[in-house]
Amino acid sequence: MADEEEHVENMKRQLANLFYASLRAAFPNEPNDIEPLVAASTTKFGDYQCNNALGLFTKFKRNVTHYVNVHAVGQDIMINLPPSEMIESCSIGGPGFVNVKLSNDWIAKSIQKMLVDGIETWAPRLPVKRVVVDFSSPNIAKEMHVGNLRSTIIGDSIARMLAFSNVEVLRHNHVGDWGTQFGMLIEYLFEKFLNVEDVNETAISDLQAFYKSKKRFDTDVAFKERAQKAVVRLQGGESKYRQAWTQICEISRKEFDKIYECLGVHLEEMGESFYNPYIPKKDGGYNYASTDLAALWYHLNEEKADWIIYVTDVGQQQHFDMVFSAAKHAGWLPDDDGTYPKASHVGFGLVLGEDGKRFRTRSSEVVRLVDLLDEAKVRMLEEAKEKQEQRLKDGIIAIHWTEEELEQIAEIVGYAAVKYTDLKNNRLTNYTFSFKQMLNHKGNTAVALLYAYARICSIIEKSDQNIQELKTTGSLVLDHVDERTLGLHLMRFSEVVEEACSNLLPSMLCDYFHNLSEYFTKFYLNCQVSGSAEETSRLLLCEATVTVMRKCFHLLGIVPRDKI
Ligand code: ARG
């Protein structure tokens, strides 16, 4: 965690502090503090703007007469701004807003300071201490489906962004490991195996098929009765039943863990069964909703979380609305969603196949996640091999990758492609799953970003300069317009992460990331780096870009490579 004095406020907040002072000075008779309305500029006249004038003018019109128009209100706000090295100039725009142009010098200095002190000093500050992110949460004895994949990827990114923002994050896997379905699963298991210890992994695929059809339960009355008794005996803690249940969970867990390992995601399992003791048993009732209520109570009172975030498909929105409003009724949560503690549902849309229907493969109804990740990797590998062969044929000198390296790269790129596609879309909209699109080298894809990153790394490496040393000995200047645009965008990183956190929208970070790479391309096209008079400064700008990019990758759960 960055020390308090090292932490740097984001630009928007620094400006808001200045405007806060100016509003106080300009309107000393206002009974309450006026909250400054500062936003990134929507016009070309500045980098940021303060939008308070219009509202104030409308309010004043009735009793303060000396303002002839809204422009004059803006003027007053502008002249009362305390002097600051961050501001180059100000002007008044149309309906009285104050345009602020930031100083190139100040931007350059701030970036260089980050290079020395580390990107952690740009970490946002959020008004929460401890957050529970409930994500992934597959059901035992069922295969993880694409919905679970989306939840895993989106939840992981949200957890990463919050952790970067100095929040303590509890990553909960609310697996479906309890409930009446276990009665029939256990009975089925008993039928197939005399000893619970003999249960193996194939048994689970049997169980899945069995679970899905449920025919037996509906048609075989004797079986149904046994299954219902089994639930009671399991919940009563009878050891044979407990053991069978544990066995079933254990085998599923192994399958889930394979996927978590592929994805580099870590979760703490806190399944439905964990909350069982916290559910009042008066009505004998156990169900999805009462478990979630018990879990919410636990997060608030035992874990002392001040924000609880649930990541599931939008289909569960109603369920969570109900749970949250029950919690408000009970007085566990305040009625006002603007205050903490609070609970939020992060919904996401469907993944569609290229036929526009719910995504599935030819062979199976549900898409096996492992296959999906595998296919992305295999496709990347084929492509990389072809390219390498072509390069050899053409006599192009490039790194010659070993088979093993190629595999590694294909895995990184392939998995990153799947993740990024999931994250870049506004999560509420459905999206079409297309390998072709996600593995494209151009456009807003992980592949393009990974290659851009490696390219910048190689620019720095080829310069043969000691970049660590340059951070303190060199000096960064932003004279060229494309240098400035890139620099300003780098400086926005902190407020973008903050916004992505408060809106629970990783796609905001993806947009930022994609733009960053575009601004870099433009800079590199128009500003010579190696061998130019500005080489040192420009290398520092490259290094700052790489630093921010690396953090973006990290927050999206992607591990980039310097060489690719
Ligand atoms: N197991 C559920 C499913 O796959 C998701 C659970 C989400 N989390 C929760 N606390 N209800 O549909």
- Domain of 38, CATH number, reads 3.30.1360.70
Kindly state the average pLDDT of the residues 309-324: 96
Q: Are residues 54 and 189 in the same domain?
A: no
User: What backbone phi and psi angles, to 5 degrees, belong to 98?
Assistant: -95, 115
Same domain, 88 and 196: no
Residue pair 177/250 in contact (Cβ under 8 Å)? The answer is no
Domain contains 217: yes
Instruction: Annotate 254-323 with DSSP letters as a single string.
Output: HHHHHHHHHHT---EE--GGGGGGGS--TT----HHHHHHHHHHHHHHTS--SEEEEEEEGGGHHHHHHH
* Ligand 1 pocket test target in 174, 267, 276 with most atoms within 8 Å of CB: 174
pLDDT digits (tens, 9 = 90+) for 452-479: 999 999 999 999 999 999 999 999 999 9
Query: Which residues are within 8 A (CB) of 132 and not within 5 positions of it... i.e. 6 or more apart?
Result: 169, 170, 172, 299, 303, 305, 307, 308, 309
Average pLDDT, the chain: 91
Q: Are 157 and 501 in contact (CB under 8 A)?
A: no
Token pair belonging to 227: 């299954």
244 in the same domain as 378: no
Ligand 1, atom 3, residue with closest C-alpha: 138
Six-digit token string for 522 = 């433009």
Angle at the Cα of 502 from the Cα atoms of 498 and 507, rounded to 5 degrees: 75
ipTM of the shown complex: 0.98
DSSP H helices, 302-445, are 317-329, 369-394, 403-424, 435-438
- Name the residue among 203, 202, 176 with its Cα closest to residue 189: 203
Does some domain include residue 311?
Answer: no
Q: What is the dihedral of CA 309, 311, 317, 323, to 10 degrees?
A: -40
| Cα(142)–Cα(209) distance, integer angstroms | 9
Average pLDDT score over residue span 197-223:
75
**429: pLDDT strictly greater than 70:** yes
Q: Which of 269, 263, 288, 462 is nearest to 376 (CA)?
A: 263
Cα(290) to centroid(ligand 1), Å: 13
* Angle at CA of residue 20, ends 14 and 22, nearest 5°: 110
Q: Which of these three, 263, 289, 312, is where a domain ends?
A: 263
Pocket of ligand 1 contains residue 93 by CB under 6 Å:
no
pLDDT at 4: 52
DSSP 129: S
Residue where one domain finishes, among candidates 67, 102, 137: 102
**Cα 442 from Cα 88, distance rounded (Å):** 36
Question: What is the pLDDT at residue 445?
Answer: 96
The pTM assigned to this predicted structure is 0.94
Based on the number of CB atoms within 10 Å of its own CB, is 353 exposed (0-12), middle (13-18) or buried (19 or more)? middle
Q: Cα separation of 121 and 405, whole Å?
A: 34
Of 84, 102, 120, the domain-final residue? 102
Q: What angle do CA 334, 339, 341 make, to 5 degrees?
A: 65
Q: Which of 143, 352, 136 is nearest to 263 (CA)?
A: 136
- pLDDT surpassing 70 at residue 104: yes
Q: Could you list the residue range(s) of the whole structural domain that residue 545 is in?
A: 369-556
> Residue 2: pLDDT band by 50, 70, 90 thresholds?
very low
The verdict on the CB of residue 320 being under 6 Å from ligand 1 is: no
Q: Is the dihedral of CA 375, 379, 380, 382 positive or negative?
A: positive
Q: Which region among 33-37, 103-107, 278-282, 488-492 has the lowest average model confidence (pLDDT)?
A: 278-282
> Which of 26-30, 268-272, 371-375, 377-381 is the most confident on average?
268-272
Ligand 1 probe mutation, 135, 252, 287, 316, most atoms within 8 A of CB: 316
Cα separation values, 65 from 26, 57, 106, Å: 15, 10, 39
- Would you state the pLDDT for residue 1? 47
541 and 396 co-located in one domain: yes
Whether residue 92 is found in the same domain as residue 195: no
Residue 530, domain CATH:
1.10.730.10
405 burial level (CB within 10 Å; 0-12, 13-18, 19+): middle
Omega cis (within 30) before 341: yes
- pLDDT band for position 107 (50/70/90)? very high
Q: Which atom of ligand 1 is nearest to the CA of 312?
A: 7
Same domain, 202 and 98: no
Q: Give yes or no: residues 409 and 537 share one domain.
A: yes
pLDDT tens profile 329-367? 999 999 998 999 999 999 999 888 888 877 765 555 556
Are 200 and 97 part of one and the same domain?
Answer: no
Q: How many CB atoms lie within 10 A of CB 432?
A: 15
419 within domain boundaries: yes
| 458 neighbors 78 (Cβ within 8 angstroms) | no
- Residue 204 has a pLDDT of 66
Task: Tell whether 480 and 388 lie within a shared domain.
Answer: yes
Is-contact 227 168, C-beta < 8 A?
no
Strands 48-50 and 38-40: antiparallel
Task: Examine the domain organization and report whether 92 and 190 are in the same domain.
Answer: no
**Residue 174 confidence class, pLDDT cut points 50, 70, 90:** very high
DSSP letter, residue 176: B
Q: Is residue 376 part of a domain?
A: yes
**Residue 310, ligand 1, Cβ within 6 A:** yes
Whether the CB of 134 sits within 6 Å of ligand 1: yes
**Cβ–Cβ under 8 Å, residues 407 and 467:** no
Given a cut of 90, is residue 280 above it in pLDDT? no
Among 126-135, 358-367, 505-514, the range scoring the smallest mean pLDDT is 358-367
* pLDDT one-digit tens code per residue, 367-424: 677 788 889 999 999 999 998 999 889 988 888 899 999 999 999 999 999 999 999 9
Q: Which residues contact 276 (CB under 8 A, 6 or more apart)?
A: 178, 235, 286, 291
Reply yes or no on whether the pLDDT at 193 is more than 80.
no
In a domain, 24, yes or no: yes
Residue 227: helix, strand or coil by DSSP?
A: helix
Tokens (6 digits) for 34: 């006026």
Dmax (CA) of the chain: 92
Nearest protein CA to atom 7 of ligand 1, as residue? 137
C-alpha 294/C-alpha 15 separation (Å) is 43
Range in 73-87, 285-299, 501-515 the model is least confident about: 285-299
Q: Are residues 95 and 184 in the same domain?
A: no
Residue 207's pLDDT is 74
One domain for residues 516 and 415: yes
Q: Minimal CA–CA distance to 265: which of 366, 359, 349, 148? A: 148
* Ligand 1 atom 4 nearest Cα: 138
Q: Is residue 133 part of a domain?
A: no
SS3 170: strand
Check pocket membership of 139 for ligand 1, CB cut-off 6 A.
yes
Predicted confidence at residue 310, as pLDDT, reads: 98
- CB-based contacts of 561: which residues, under 8 Å, 6+ apart? 409, 412, 450, 454
Q: 170, 171, 312: which to mutate for ligand 1, most atoms within 8 A of CB?
A: 312
* The pair of three-digit structure tokens given for residue 140, joined into one six-digit string: 């035992």
Q: Is residue 122 part of a domain?
A: no
Residue 309 domain-assigned (yes or no): no
- Which residues are CB-neighbours of 422 under 8 A, at least 6 positions away? 149, 150, 153, 154
Domain count for the chain, please give it. Answer: 3
pLDDT at 30 exceeding the cut of 90 = no
Residue 38: pLDDT over 50:
yes
The pLDDT, as a whole number, for residue 206 is 74
Task: Quote the pLDDT of residue 495.
Answer: 97
